[in-house]
Amino acid sequence: MSSVASLLGAKDGIELAIATAVPGAPAMQFTSEGIRYYTVAQAPGTNFLRHSKADLERARAIVAGYHPDIIHVHWTERFYGLIVGMNLDVPVVVSIQGLVSQVRRFLFAGLSFRDRLRALRIRDVL
């Protein structure tokens, strides 16, 4: 993701902003290498998988203040995708990295449990 951001940020006519929630970190806004960064200060008691309505409202406020032409939601396990329902009049693109129910079918490349046990090394166990 960072290399894609660097390439986009270096293009003339493209202004890139990245917002992310960081549990325990304060709200920040800064620019580095031509890319604007925002952190959503998450409410106490939240973590990477839990969020509050206040977290979503902080994310909405960042979008409203920045006025993007498009929003790309990455890491849908978090609450970011919920921004779609906030009627911001901004197109939203959602990236899905993998569906666990589908990835599971290819896990271990079809090896049986017995084959996986035989392939184990002491180093793997430790």
- Tell me, what DSSP letter sits at residue 39? E
The reply to whether 115 falls in a domain is: no
The reply to whether 39 falls in a domain is: yes
CA separation for the pair 9, 14 (Å, rounded): 6
Domain count, the chain: 1
**Residue of 81, 53, 68, 61 lying closest to 8 (CA atoms):** 68
The reply to whether 43 falls in a domain is: yes
Domain range for 61 is 2-97
pLDDT in tens, 71-96: 888 766 677 777 777 777 888 888 77
pLDDT value for 94: 81
